[in-house]
Chains A and B, each alone.
Chain A
Amino acid sequence: MKIEARGVHFSYGDVPALRGVTLGAGEGEVVGLVGPNGSGKTTLLRCLDGILRPQRGTIFLDGRELGQIGPRELSRRVGYLPQGSPPSFPLTVFDTVLLGRRPHLGWRVGERDLRVVSGLLEEMGMEGLALRYFGELSGGERQKVLLARLLAQEPEVLLLDEPTAHLDLRHQLEILDLLRKKARERGITVLMALHDLNLASGFSDRVVLLHRGRVLASGRPGSVLTPSRLERVYGVRVRRMGGKDRPYLLPLRPS
């Protein structure tokens, strides 16, 4: 396992968010984290990135306890894209993506850092936006810039919280395609929280269903996303269509 949580508990004050979560993701694996609001997806990602420290249980990165890894090394190896677009800030697109290089550089920016950034902007078709300010971009462009920042970090593990929220169809597919491509090409581990069950089904190697701070089911999309389980977790009747491996789910009505 590349990154692994074992028996992780976390509470905000006395409100428990995670109650003994155990899960792992292997090298090059794309794991979709699904579950209703408040099921613990964001808290779990924060714990995996070391932003929150679990009150019980341990996180392992390549078999090493997360607490044993210094913040700088951790920031080089694990990248995190928080939920939603931040309020505007006065940085250009290039500078924002360059931030991803921060864990790798001192005060001076090296030649390689600039090449990584400009290469990513080209790969994502944003070289024309390089000197635009973040606040001048559309929602979809903003999210792509933030994703480019994450990729510029060149981490081994990518943690993403709702990377496709509020995006149009094309941007959703572009972003998830790119993530899957990076996972295949470079063996990067991707763990992403997704609300859209169909995107989770279509793009994940494995789906983990969280419910009230626990892992309810984990496995191939087709085996996890069953109508009876979804009705129990979301309280919604769902019709399942399409293939056995990557089903398509049509929510019908609250049950």
Chain B
Amino acid sequence: MRGKALRLYRSFVRRKLWVILFLLLLLFLLSLLSLSLGAAKLGPGTVWRAFFSKILPLSPPDRLSEVIVWELRVPRILMAVLAGAGLALAGAVSQGLLRNPLASPYTLGISSAAGFGASLALVLGLGVVGGEYLVVANAFCFALLATLLVWALGLKKGMSPESVILAGIAVMYLFSSLTSILQYAAEPRALQGVVFWLMGGLHTATWEGVMPVLVLFLLCSPPLLGSSWDLNAMAVGDETARSLGVNVRRVRGMGLVLLSLLTAGIVSFTGTIGFIGLVSPHLARMLVGGDHRFLLPCSCSVGALLLLGADTLARTLLAPTEIPVGAITSLLGIPFFLHLLLRKRRDYWA
């Protein structure tokens, strides 16, 4: 039958678009739900009036609920969505660039370097800038330093995936051992701060944090999403990609820098939230397959959903006590992920 492959492919593409649309709708609904849940027991009516009082000419129900909705819940939800989407995108791109299902922004040493920067500020009060942004700025600068190290080491070896991965792992161990030394020497109060930072969480999310992360996301994600074809070509192998006109070294180098920048920005504000960057791309791959044109946006949606869901649970399950969100993502996510992994019949990477 003529055109059979074409018809199959068209419906395959349509299905993938529907999946992504459905995830976005789900994300919207979850955001609404998350907005109306919290330690302060505000009724849905109060929440909605407080929410719309800033947008529509309505009077807010009272000052407190306005503050809770606009200064606590909205920035936190935005941060969860941005951080989830950003970490998942960075994970999907790093897996594609390095042709390795175990790659994630964290295996490139970014988070452990950020952790060291933050610890340095928390324990010794040392940092690149003083004041209230000491910890954030320190984390960010050290994350960039790690990126630079990995990039330079990789470049020396022609940007082969293996050299980048090994360089990333070496940098990761270097900074985690430095952090351990700091923790060993730290005062109990400072140590507590370091432990909390390393666990990661969104409880510190404010508008001052959301804005820079949003800007970074808007700057880094278009070129990363735009490299989909290059990533697809590189999946088949560097030589094939080069014969298809892809400048493999440049794409890999630029991609690493962009995804590191994005991760560094997120991690500096949230601490190290594990699992999202590694697993979201795999979940997305099970949903839409490996074509990066669909995989990257789908990973973003999955990551945002996962982190927003986990954070909503983290702040409501034992309210007013918070559970560290990193613990939730791993505890609930890993069994779910393993279930999918064992159930799926198609083995994309083997």
Contact = CB atoms under 8 A, between A and B. Distances in A.
A235 interface: no
Given A130-B5, A130-B9, A92 B237 contact: no
B105 interface: no
Interface string B51-79: 00000000000000000000000000000
Interface in A83-142: 86-92, 94-96, 99-100, 102-103, 107, 114-115, 117-118, 121-122, 126-128, 130-131, 133, 135-136
B242 A51 contact: yes
A79 B243 contact: yes
Given A49-B243, A91-B290, A114-B9, 16 more contacts: A74-B245, A75-B243, A75-B245, A82-B240, A86-B240, A88-B347, A89-B235, A90-B349, A94-B5, A102-B232, A102-B233, A103-B245, A117-B6, A122-B2, A127-B5, A130-B5
A39 interface: no
- Specify which of B229, B240, B285 lies most central, judged by the most chain A CB atoms within 10 Å of its CB: B240
A248 interface: no
Range for the number of chain B residues in contact with chain A: 35 or more
A219 B29 CA distance: 71
B181 interface: no
Given A114-B6, A122-B2, A133-B348, A91 B245 contact: no
Nearest to B228: A107
B232 A80 contact: no
Interface in B217-255: 226, 228-229, 232-233, 235-237, 239-240, 242-247
Contact of A122 (B5, B243, B244): B5
Contact of A153 (B2, B6, B232, B244): B244
Range for the number of chain A residues in contact with chain B: 35 or more
A57 B139 CA distance: 51
Contacts of A82: 237, 239-240, 243
B4 interface: yes
A72 interface: yes
Contact of B289 (A79, A90, A126): A90
Interface of B: 2-6, 8-10, 12, 99, 226, 228-229, 232-233, 235-237, 239-240, 242-247, 285, 289-291, 293, 346-350
A71 interface: yes
Interface of A: 46, 49, 51, 71-72, 74-76, 78-82, 86-92, 94-96, 99-100, 102-103, 107, 114-115, 117-118, 121-122, 126-128, 130-131, 133, 135-136, 146, 149, 153
7 contacts: A71-B245, A75-B243, A90-B235, A95-B232, A114-B6, A122-B2, A135-B347
